[in-house]
Structure formats: C-alpha cells, structure tokens
Structure 1
C-alpha cells in the first residue's frame, strides 16, 4: 500500500483486520483520510505516520510539505504504547480519534498549538495519565473533547479555565477519571454552543455554580458519582433544551421546583443523595419524562398526583428508600389488578418500598424492590 502515492482515502472500518498498522503508509504522501476504526489491530501506532508532516525533495527537485492528513481514526482496536509525537505535528489534522484501545502516557502538552485545526479529539477508554493539556485553548476550532475512562488527574478550576477560549466547543466529556477540586464560577463563561457536559465518576466536590444556567444549549448534563453537595441551583430550570440530567450518587440537599420548567427532560436521575423536602409537584410539567429516579434520599410528604399522572414515564419510576408518607395516589389504588393507566400505562418498573409511612398497597405488601409493570393482569 505504501506504493499508492496518489491514495487519498483509506477506510477499512468495521472489519476484523488483525496485526499491526503498516509502517509504509507514511509513503502515501497524499493521504487525507485514514479510518481503521473497529478492527483487531495490535501493536503500536507507527512512528512513521508522523513523517507525513516532514519536508522532502520531490522528483522535480522542489521542496514539498506533506501536510495533507486530516482524519486519523484508529478507535476500537487493541493498539498499545504511546501516541507518536510526530502525529501531533501534522497541523492539518481535523479529527484525531484513538478511543477504546490500550494506549498510555501523557498527551503532548503543546497539542493545541501543533494541531490548530483540530475539531474533534477522542481518546476515551485508554490508559492516559497526566492533566488536560494547557494548550487546548489554542485549538480555537475545537468542537468536541472526550477524555473519559482514563487516569487523568488535576483540579477542575484550572483545567476548565483552559477551555474558556474555545468558543465553538459543543461536547466535553471527562468522566471516569481522577479529577478533583470544585467547579469554578467561570463555568458560566464556557461556550454557549455547549450541548453536552459529562463529568461523572471523579472526585469533584463543592456546589454546582448558579452560572450553569447560562449554558442555554445544554441537552445532556451528567455529574453523577462525585462529592458535590448543597442545593441544586434553581438556575438549572433555565436549561429548557435539557433532555438528560444525571446527578445521582452525590450529596445534594435540596431540589428546586424550577425543574418543572425542563419540559424537554427525558431522564432525571437524582438517586442516592441527601435531598430532603417534598417532591415538587412541578415535575408533572415534564411531559417528555421517561425515567424518574429519586431513590435513597430523604424526600417526605405524599406522592404528588401530578407525577403519578404522567403518562410519559415508561422505563423507571424509582422512589424507594425515602420518607414518603400519606396514601398512595388514586392512580395506584390499594387493591385489585395492577393499574394500566397514567404512569403505569407502558411502564416496566416501579419501586416505592422503604417508605415506612406510605400507607396502603405496595410498600406494606412485601413486594420486590423493583416491581414489573408490564404484567398488567398481576394482582397485588
């Protein structure tokens, strides 16, 4: 293949190719697109790929810059070792994806300067260490970053601050790493293009700054499995495009009624926190809600009829292990067949056990923790 000097595109994705990446691909001086995603490739990324950016003497004796490579897509293989430093010097690269391999080491500190045209950087699911490169803010065209499932560390104030200059940034994912510290107030200054913030499974503490409400284009926000605490800011109710809000396994204490403004919300998971007070009836305004997970908190009072009337909930309604009291809403009943209307219409699971003051029906009848709803003729 190294003899195909005019070759511009290689797409071998979604196959079962094994062995290593051929070293002599670097001789394909006009190569622009290299896609080897989802194969069984092993070994290192050839250092020779980095030579595609070096100078050489052409047949005509002219000096030509071999800087054509734009897409390097090597994800979902079994590649190991480090990313060759030369690869970071190909300034024409737009998309670099080495996700889901066994690569290790640090990301080149100057990556934002040496790859000024970079728009997508996917390194999720490897063994990388170190901190987010300080130079990322120099990659002014950057739109999507996924550093999830690695061993990156560092403090959130410093690392988020590096990204404030990325005006086109739409997606940032750094979940399942070792980031610590608190979220800075400057989160309000992140790109207004941002639609996805995924920060779960880290060591982030403190509160969510109220400025989060400035990110009006957010559709997905996940900060689950951290050490965040305090009230969930009411400003979150300004995020009218939000479809998924995952804040479970933290130490939040209060739930704002403004969540009822999130009418596009599909999934709301606040399980395993310290949230007290009553469940806001305003959640009944979330007519797109498929999953509502509030288990293992300190919610008290009765179940709002507005929530039990939501016909959209069809995957999970988990309210178990709280301090709910009073009677179950009429939509649930106390005897007879499992209801098939409202929240039960297309549901697959509901759980309200562990609420000792909730009278009538499910909680005191010894039913399983997760109660299947798709068997609508089962009596209880």
Structure 2
C-alpha cells in the first residue's frame, strides 16, 4: 500500500482481516503520517518519499527482493500513478502507466472522453493569466476553473465574468497550500459549467467486465464552490435515468482505459444527459465504500483485493449483502470566523434513529475553514435509513443536533 490514507485505510483493514500480509510505503510525516490504528498491525512500514516515483520504485524493489510482493495499491487518487509504475516494474497486475495519466490529469481525461464522442464540457487548459480571455471565449460564461491534478474540491470555482475568472485563477496559482507533500501548480482547466444535479458512480472492472454498484447522491455547499458535505447511497433516481447514467459511465471507463479495480466517477445530469466531472481509478473517499457496503452489500475493498491478488470474490468475502435500504454520511461544518473550541450534542446525535457513529476530527485550536473545499469539514456522522425520506430527516436532525462552538454551557 502506497500511503494508507482515505480508502486505503479501508483496504488495509480488509486485507488484515483476511490474514493477508500488508506492507505500507509512506513518507510518515505531516498529512502523510501512518495511521496509529494500523501502525502496529501491518507487517512492515517502509519510510520513503512517496511523491518521488524513482525513489519509491527503488525502495519497493529492494523490499520485493527480500519479501516478494503480490500486489501494489494506492492509498488515494494521488498515488494511482505511483502504484501503476511500481506494479509495472515488478511485473504485477495493475493499470497501464499510460492509463493513469488519463485519470489523474484532468486535461488528458477530458481529451480521452471527448475523443470517444461522449458528452463532456467544453474545456481549455491554461497556465498563465494571459490565456484566460481566450479560454473563456471558448467555454462561455458561467464557467468553472480547477487545478488539473488536485482533489477535495481545492480551488474548484464557478465564475461569471473575466474578472471573477482572473481572481479565481490567481488565487489558485499563488496558493502556498501543500497537500500530501505536493504544492499546487499553475496548470488549470477552464471548462463549461454543467447545469444539473451532481452524482458519483461507484463500481469496478473485474475480468474485463465493468460493473456499476451504486449511484451516490452528493450534497454540496452553495456555489461558487463545490465542497462535498454529504453523500447518500443509493441516489433517489428514476430507473430510466439510473440506467442512462450507468451506460454513460461504462463508456467513460472504456474511454480512459480502466482495465482492473474500482472506479469513482463524478458527473452531472444536464438537460442533454450525463456529463463527466471526473473519474478516478480508486474507491470513493469520504467513507463512500462503507455506504456502498451498507446499502448495496458489496465490499469494494475486498473486490479490489480479489482483482489484483488473483483471488475469487468468494474467497475475499466481497459480497456480504446489504444491511440497510439507504446509507449516508453527513459532515459537520461551521462559520469560518473563529477557531474550533468544542462540539455539543454528540450523544444526542448518536441516539438518533439509524445513526451508526458520530465523530469530530477537529481539536481545540484548529482553524475553522470556510465552505470552500474539504478543509471545511470538522467531523461526520454515518447513518442508515429505511427510505430516502427517512434519510433526509436524519440528515436534517444531525445538522440541528450537533452544534459547533455553542455559547455558554450548552452541552
């Protein structure tokens, strides 16, 4: 495992539960620290700069020479290319190294999907302020600007004129924020705004067959930003629309060349039909894999283990069966004019019908970020429900019950 992060944590836990030996390669610093809950359970921790692919390949090759490795997995989307390069070097099953550029670089992704004749927004890559006017001329307003290789809604912004576009791009290109040891770069996409509700599609490719497991409903902050503050599986869709989404995503998977393992495809349903936001060669983050298992009865981590280790899905227990009709996750946020001090109402929230866990990740003194990207999320609750109506009621109750920095002695 290259960096046990996000969905990678679920994958490591699944492997360990099956008695599979696990080695993690990690920088083990800053936001890439090895999770304490796994540190003592894995077989070995290899400390290496995981953003340096030659150094990573050399370290894993040395490990492979003394402890043969059977498969290489990325802990999150950032390390999909690294995993492909390492697997290729060791002669193991994995994605083609050319394919991974099409699922990490959003320009290459758009080009591949457009070349296949599939609906995708008009787009232009820019790397300087001087290119923005021409880009906007091509896409029209409103349009969206985003980094070509980031995730978590970082600097994804809808703009309505050249002044807003210039401001958003300058903010993107000068931000000093470092995510997983990687600074932002000046390359960005300017693309047509897609008007319609947003969903993600979870699935996998196994033995050459693409399977869609679930369509996930997304809950976003108000525009001009797109931070995700909730997910729900399955989305409440008419059967014909769901079938159309699934067919479109299968074509996207083929267009970008995904040949094995899970995928997480984000799209919007426009008046002209589904249109790609982006696709990743990995499981969805934000515990979406947990929601899929609860509501669809499919363990995506165990499917992934079967796919790369050459095991059967029966051997990995990949299809345990659903335990709920609907599963969701709600993220707790707060106004950004102060730091985090405490949260109230956690016990009451945990007592709500269907709520499975409530967790606050922020610690006193942490900044409370604006509703712009993933950093605005202070904690979360996972819940299940018997219907979409009940799920909506639980989501609303969670938002009302958990209070961030309440006044006085409110508990």
TM-score bin (small chain): under 0.3
TM-score by length of structure 1 reads 0.24
Higher-RCO chain (CA-CA 8 Å, sequence separation at least 6): 2
TM-score by length of structure 2 reads 0.23
More helix, by proportion: 2
